[in-house]
Structure 1
């Protein structure tokens, strides 16, 4: 018989009742010491739910548990019945089956608590009449047997799997409550993951699961925004905002994680509602109350975000700076703010914020820099004179901004500074596909001359056959550039002098013959 088929939840409660009736507290305490000392050295399940085990002490004793006939339990120690060895075996059995051994030690107390606390199933049926705080308490109890895993991804899957056993179709939810309960199931999982992460040394790869779930919730909010108006369910929305504010207030390790959820809820669930401005004013009042007592960086950032809905750009930036809220924040924190300003078409404010936030993007990964640059491109398309500010910002970001400067110059077809930047970095025509240089050959071929000449001389100076081959390829391309400029005589003068200067380099001469540059 498999050990894991010996107990289910109902039988576990029966076992607690039998332990409470059979063992005294002293014996249970001694048995718990034996259990912790790992003195149960072997445990086997046989037919009819009979457990045989061996416990080491001053001697080794055999214990037999009859789970169907508890009074028939035995031990070959001098006490024989209701002894510490039997207690230790029961605790070992519980632990192996995933039940807390501590509940065996405190069986009477635990049974009293169970009878005074509604069962998870009865709480689930009461969900429609509960506040959202009650939802989280019910989910906490419903998932109490889910064991936290070091891997947060596995832990979240286990929590979600347990919550999916709730038969929501049988619960008398309104349509609005059903949507909000679905949201709060994910928020509950996120909170449990954060709590576990805060208590343990979770590595980067594992904690990434937190941000992945946060992104998933934000995507869900965006999808739901086209299906439901959250403001039509005012009480649930108010409770949800209160819940997320509290999460931001309590945050420690993963700062600004909940701020992303908060801004997403506003962006997708509230902002576009006819009642949006009323909700903004009301929420700012709540945030001012909380930040006056506890200047949480996330709550101050939330207040700043809402000021932007009121077109109060100056007040928003001041709120971010209050209590050093913007010190050491991730650059991505500013994206919701920049989105809000862009979507409100306040282009001068957008330029101002892009200048103020520039330093946060120094040394950032390409993805974040690319997003930041997209805002600049949008701003410049509406405020062309802002381009001067962009170049000042990019110069301040050097060397991290070189690739962006190249991209901007190329997009604007500013060929001369683009080519100068290539040469400064030691790049040459071989660094690019032929198609990259084709527009320059067509529009301003004369600008390519120093680019080609410099590269050719550098390859020849290396004096090896491989680089001679590269030099010959560039010579052939340079020939085409001169012909494009209709300056064949100038090419011939250059090429004649080139041959004379390098006449002693036999390998180069051979490569030029292979390339049909020489007879």
Structure 2
């Protein structure tokens, strides 16, 4: 059983390992189906697996070995000790670990003194082909990331953080390779599935980067950060059909480094050289979109929003719109409405042409939030109204949140939305908060039903009139209700079938 479990571990069948409350180890193992394993470290006899076997099983053994790897121990050594009571002399783990560098020189195992370039070379040597196993899922990369993290588990916290950042970038690149070979027919499905899998890795990347403090960095840390920057420089940031927003990963790093003058000055020089290369037709792969975006971001971080917007205006809107959204959102959080208006104006101009841009949803959300924070500025609602009918849902919900019930009702009238087409809970809430706002909606729906000139339409009109009657009488407006009914009867006196339905529905007597 141990041998079969170790084989599962070596074949990377363990999809995840997690320690809970210090006494339980949870794992997911891919067998015939995916099995959930719980190892109870206080009393191993209470360990469980969802596979059909009773008692211990190979899935438990696989998670057992994966946990030791996760904890920074050699799973091979543990396996040999479990079977033979000692580590085998010819086991790689019983010899001083060596790493082949690109120059063919053997160096000591990875440690805090190892150069970041060697970190990446070791990752590529061990896991560089794992992406080929990701035909339908990125689960094999989860085990890769756990293995990479285990390497630096005992390092100094700050250097370990940088090693983990390198590791996350490595597995994200592996995910990109797997995504790049998907066929165009299934690409949308894979993009959604793969992005969900990598989302927690990206979140951890942002968390780790947010902990960087350039002013307190040691020389090895600065070397590692230099290597990170170099990795972004080397990759094609402008490539079409990428799984991740690599520019966001880059910007989050520079959000921490921008106050360091030496780093920023060198980066600006590099970006300008790329921008000049693009202008002269040399190196367009890198200078096309990324260089102006990056320079705009650095201007934004330095408070020069107008210069940043001017740079983005020279690019294709759809490629840089999400960066503009990020900048606008930050100014909104800072409540700097003067600068916010510049960003929203830029987005508005682009969205009037590129209505299907991914920035459309964030744009509407920011306009809504800005209108709540600054209700005396009519521009925010004007932006929402200007994009009708595409902004109907956002504007309708916004006016409800703002308790602008008359505007909300006018919007429903404009689009011909009838009460029966609305959520029942919404109608109940409106009947309680603003019943008079519902009157014109019912009036319009009743008129429309009568205009159908058939018995079914007349019955629908009577059904709506009975609901409207409750609203009028709840507001103690019985006289107004009676006048409304009299008007309907007089107006449609020649429609005998309608008169019959009104009588049957006890609207008239």
Superposition TM-score, scaled by structure 1 size: 0.63
Distance verdict in 2 for CA 1:290–1:177, change over 3 Å: farther
Distance verdict in 2 for CA 1:161–1:308, change over 3 Å: same
Distance verdict in 2 for CA 1:444–1:209, change over 3 Å: closer
Q: Does the 8 Å CA contact 2:168/2:201 hold for their aligned counterparts?
A: yes
2:126 paired with 1:136: no
What is the DSSP-based 3-state SS (H/G/I as helix, E as strand, rest coil) of the residue aligned with 1:329?
Answer: helix
Aligned pairs for 1:74-223 (under 5 A) are 125-126=109-110, 128-144=112-128, 146=130, 148-149=132-133, 151=135, 154=137, 156-162=138-144, 164-165=146-147, 168=150, 173-195=155-177, 197-198=179-180, 201=183, 203-208=187-192, 211-212=195-196, 215-223=199-207
What residue number does 2:447 align with? 457
Q: Does the 8 Å CA contact 1:341/1:349 hold for their aligned counterparts?
A: yes
Structure 1 gap ranges (5+): 1-113
Per-residue displacement from partner, 1:452-498 (whole Å, max 9, x unpaired)?
A: 22211221233455544432232123334444665533432332343
What is the DSSP-based 3-state SS (H/G/I as helix, E as strand, rest coil) of the residue aligned with 2:416?
Answer: coil
The two structures, once aligned, show a CA RMSD in angstroms of: 4.2
What residue number does 1:291 align with? 275
2:398 paired with 1:408: yes
What residue number does 1:35 align with? none
What residue number does 2:485 align with? 495
Aligned pairs for 1:210-289 (under 5 A) are 211-212=195-196, 215-224=199-208, 229=213, 232=217, 233-249=221-237, 251-254=239-242, 257-267=245-255, 269=256, 280=264, 283-289=267-273
Distance in 1 (alpha carbons) for counterparts of 2:299 and 2:506? 70
Q: Does the 8 Å CA contact 1:459/1:471 hold for their aligned counterparts?
A: yes
Mean CA deviation greater in 117-126 or 462-471: 117-126
Distance in 2 (alpha carbons) for counterparts of 1:486 and 1:146? 73
2:292 paired with 1:315: no
Distance verdict in 2 for CA 1:285–1:421, change over 3 Å: same
What is the DSSP-based 3-state SS (H/G/I as helix, E as strand, rest coil) of the residue aligned with 1:254?
Answer: coil
Q: Does the 8 Å CA contact 2:99/2:107 hold for their aligned counterparts?
A: no
Larger radius of gyration: 1
Distance in 2 (alpha carbons) for counterparts of 1:208 and 1:367? 15
Select which of 458, 461, 466 maps to 1:471: 461
Distance verdict in 2 for CA 1:299–1:248, change over 3 Å: farther
Distance verdict in 2 for CA 1:343–1:481, change over 3 Å: closer
2:309 paired with 1:327: no
| Cα deviation, residue 447, structure 1 | 5.3
What residue number does 2:338 align with? 348
Q: Does the 8 Å CA contact 2:296/2:309 hold for their aligned counterparts?
A: yes
Select which of 393, 410, 424 maps to 1:420: 410
Q: Does the 8 Å CA contact 1:332/1:368 hold for their aligned counterparts?
A: yes
Distance in 2 (alpha carbons) for counterparts of 1:248 and 1:145? 20
Distance verdict in 2 for CA 1:164–1:293, change over 3 Å: same
Distance in 1 (alpha carbons) for counterparts of 2:249 and 2:210? 18
Distance verdict in 2 for CA 1:279–1:516, change over 3 Å: farther
The size of the alignment, in residue pairs, is 398
| Cα deviation, residue 287, structure 1 | 2.9
Q: Does the 8 Å CA contact 1:459/1:468 hold for their aligned counterparts?
A: yes
| Cα deviation, residue 137, structure 1 | 2.2
2:368 paired with 1:377: yes
Q: Does the 8 Å CA contact 2:191/2:243 hold for their aligned counterparts?
A: no
Per-residue displacement from partner, 1:176-225 (whole Å, max 9, x unpaired)?
A: 23222222122112223334544664523224455446633331034436
What residue number does 2:69 align with? none
Distance verdict in 2 for CA 1:344–1:420, change over 3 Å: closer
More helix as a share of residues: 1
Distance verdict in 2 for CA 1:446–1:170, change over 3 Å: closer
Q: Does the 8 Å CA contact 1:304/1:320 hold for their aligned counterparts?
A: yes
What is the DSSP-based 3-state SS (H/G/I as helix, E as strand, rest coil) of the residue aligned with 1:251?
Answer: coil
Distance in 2 (alpha carbons) for counterparts of 1:123 and 1:252? 39
Distance verdict in 2 for CA 1:346–1:187, change over 3 Å: same
| Cα deviation, residue 345, structure 1 | 3.6
Distance verdict in 2 for CA 1:240–1:141, change over 3 Å: same
What residue number does 1:306 align with? 298
| Cα deviation, residue 146, structure 1 | 3.8
What residue number does 1:33 align with? none
Structure 2 gap ranges (5+): 1-97, 279-286
| Cα deviation, residue 352, structure 1 | 1.6
Mean CA deviation greater in 140-149 or 236-245: 140-149
Distance in 1 (alpha carbons) for counterparts of 2:470 and 2:487? 18
What residue number does 1:46 align with? none
Distance in 1 (alpha carbons) for counterparts of 2:131 and 2:379? 57
| Cα deviation, residue 518, structure 1 | 4.1
Distance in 2 (alpha carbons) for counterparts of 1:200 and 1:433? 40
Distance in 2 (alpha carbons) for counterparts of 1:191 and 1:458? 58
Distance verdict in 2 for CA 1:255–1:320, change over 3 Å: farther
What is the DSSP-based 3-state SS (H/G/I as helix, E as strand, rest coil) of the residue aligned with 1:148?
Answer: helix
